[in-house]
Amino acid sequence: QIPTLEPVPLPQPSPNLGLRPIQLLEIKARGRFGAVWKAQFKNEFVAVKVFPMQDKQSWQTEQEIFKLAHMDHEDILHFIGVEKHGDNLQTEFWLITAYHEKGSLCDYLKANIVTWPEMCRIAESMAR
């Protein structure tokens, strides 16, 4: 489906998962805006991007992107919800998504030699 300029319904507020415990298991990556953890939520693994207080705006921006109507797609990382932990200067902002064992596309491409048919499948899925 091709995005258009037609009005789309406003997205629902993202779920706050504060009543359900998430257990951080191991850091998978560190970057400019925080760290990404492999975590457990209920009986499944999830990815938790932890933003420090000074990067709250980045956390809010990523939430807004995930809430866009056309972002709920099988070929786009599944957004689960958000949490806020701590208080005052110790506050952390969590963005919870599906977990993929092989990491991001960038991680996968750096670690693997991709065949031409695989590259075509990747390009096709990005074009959808």
Closest CA to 76 of 16, 128, 32: 128
Q: What pTM, to 2 d.p., does this model score?
A: 0.76
pLDDT tens track for 39-87: 999 899 999 999 999 999 999 999 999 999 888 888 788 999 999 998 8
Half-sphere exposure of 103 (CA within 13 A, CB side): 13
Show the CA angle centred on residue 46, arms to residues 114 and 39, nearest 5°.
Answer: 115
Contact assessment for residue 97 and residue 49, using Cβ atoms and an 8 Å cutoff: yes
Distance CA 36, CA 26 (A): 9
| Structural domains for the chain | 23-102 (3.30.200.20)
pLDDT at residue 59, as a whole number: 95
Closest CA to 36 of 45, 22, 26: 26
